[in-house]
Amino acid sequence: MPGEFTTAGFAMTDAPGACEPQGLMGQPILDRPAFEHLTMAHRREIKLHCYRMMGSLHEADDLVQDTFLRAWRARSQFDRRGSPRGWLYRIATNSCLNAIKARSSAHRILEQPGRPPTEGRAAGGPAAELAWLEPYPDAELPDIVDGEPGPEARYETGEAVRLAFVAAIQLLPPRQRAALLLCDVLGWSAVETAQLLGGTTASINSALQRARATLAMRYPTGRPLQRSQPNSEERLLLERYMQAWQAANLQGLVELLREDATYHMPPWRDWYRGRQAIHDFFRTVWANFAGYHPVATRANGLPAVAVYARRHQEPEWRAHSLHVIEPAEGAIASLTIYVGPLGPELFPAFGLPPVLV
């Protein structure tokens, strides 16, 4: 169709018979092939940036589409003297800031603020009215080659995708969050960030100082603990975790936890701290299903498991929960299990079917 451009799942249409936008010298600017190449090259890193800003995989998908739609419509404003990557980040960041203004909650959570850990049976129930932080599939992470942080970055790429880090930066006001991501994660200078976000360099430095102070309260060193690359010890831990679910071995599962381990279960309000407290909770729900079937995956740079469950008197294995595991020194330091109804809704994003056949 004349005037239509389609790439990576979205279509853009100009008015019938519209010409390509012209530059100062009368040459087409970012024609369709060039724009398609640009979007393909930067799609994954722009999506990850939107995820970090929003804390939501689904919102990130929508905002990537919005970013490229806006970029296509505004392609005549790009004169090739600046960085196309920076141009896309500016559009994406502003789209995220606008989306945050339009929603009821400015940030997403892994635990309800001020809620103490639960002991025994869960009583909080699913809290659909709260905005819960979602996990991010490793299959969607950008290649490091083009997305390597600049020299100003304070965080390694692997650190800045961890579930705990994304949860921590959600505590920041939106503009501070954007400044910290652009400067400390992506490595933009304060001058470049001011050009991207608008405002002065001084205002960006001020926002960075406040953002870093907030993170310092969450992390004494101002950053999460660094993780090594997956190794044989981590793979063994994952295998033992899956075997415990496969065999319905509650004691074997609990033995994999550190004494001070934490357990969160979005969208339920309840969370638990300590091996014994986690054991006492699982004991109340372990027999609700006739069996469990785990499938290995990865989320937020961490080992993860998708668990299918079979109810008593039913033959089907249905999507049950998505588990994100934070290993430390050969044991599980933190366990986040996305349970129903949120957990099964996440399976398609990880390329997993709702029912095993």
pLDDT category at 125 given cuts 50, 70, 90 is confident
6: pLDDT strictly greater than 60: no
26 vs 96, which has greater pLDDT? 96
Any idea how long the chain is? 357
pTM, two decimals, is 0.88
pLDDT category at 157 given cuts 50, 70, 90 is confident
Name 78's Cβ contacts closer than 8 Å, sequence gap at least 6.
29, 30, 71, 84, 87
11: pLDDT strictly greater than 60: no
Q: What are phi and psi of 61, to 5 degrees?
A: -60, -45
Q: 308 in helix, strand or coil?
A: strand
245: pLDDT strictly greater than 90: yes
Tokens of 269: 């309000």
Domain segments of the chain as ranges: 1-103, 134-226, 232-350
Fold of 1-103: Rna Polymerase Sigma Factor; Chain: A (1.10.1740)
The CA distance from 307 to 313, in Å, is 19
Q: Does domain 232-350 have CATH number 3.40.50.300?
A: no
Q: Which of 80-89, 165-174, 191-200 has the lowest mean pLDDT?
A: 80-89
15: pLDDT strictly greater than 50: no
pLDDT category at 183 given cuts 50, 70, 90 is very high
pLDDT category at 152 given cuts 50, 70, 90 is low
CB distance 300 to 334 below 8 Å: no
32 vs 52, which has greater pLDDT? 52
Residue 179: half-sphere exposure toward Cβ, Cα within 13 Å: 24
Residue range 44-63: mean pLDDT, rounded:
96
Residue range 197-208: mean pLDDT, rounded:
95
The CA distance from 319 to 60, in Å, is 23
Fold of 134-226: Arc Repressor Mutant, subunit A (1.10.10)
CB distance 335 to 262 below 8 Å: yes
Q: Which of 4-18, 228-242, 313-327 has the lowest mean pLDDT?
A: 4-18
276: pLDDT strictly greater than 80: yes
- What value does the mean pLDDT of the chain take? 86
Residue range 161-186: mean pLDDT, rounded:
94
pLDDT in the model for residue 325: 97
pLDDT in the model for residue 78: 74
Residue range 287-303: mean pLDDT, rounded:
95
Q: What are phi and psi of 3, to 5 degrees?
A: 80, 0
Tell me if domain 134-226 and domain 232-350 are identical in fold.
Answer: no
pLDDT category at 225 given cuts 50, 70, 90 is low
pLDDT category at 4 given cuts 50, 70, 90 is very low
pLDDT in the model for residue 123: 86
CB distance 148 to 216 below 8 Å: no
pLDDT category at 90 given cuts 50, 70, 90 is very high
Please give the share of the chain, as a percent, with pLDDT higher than 90: 66
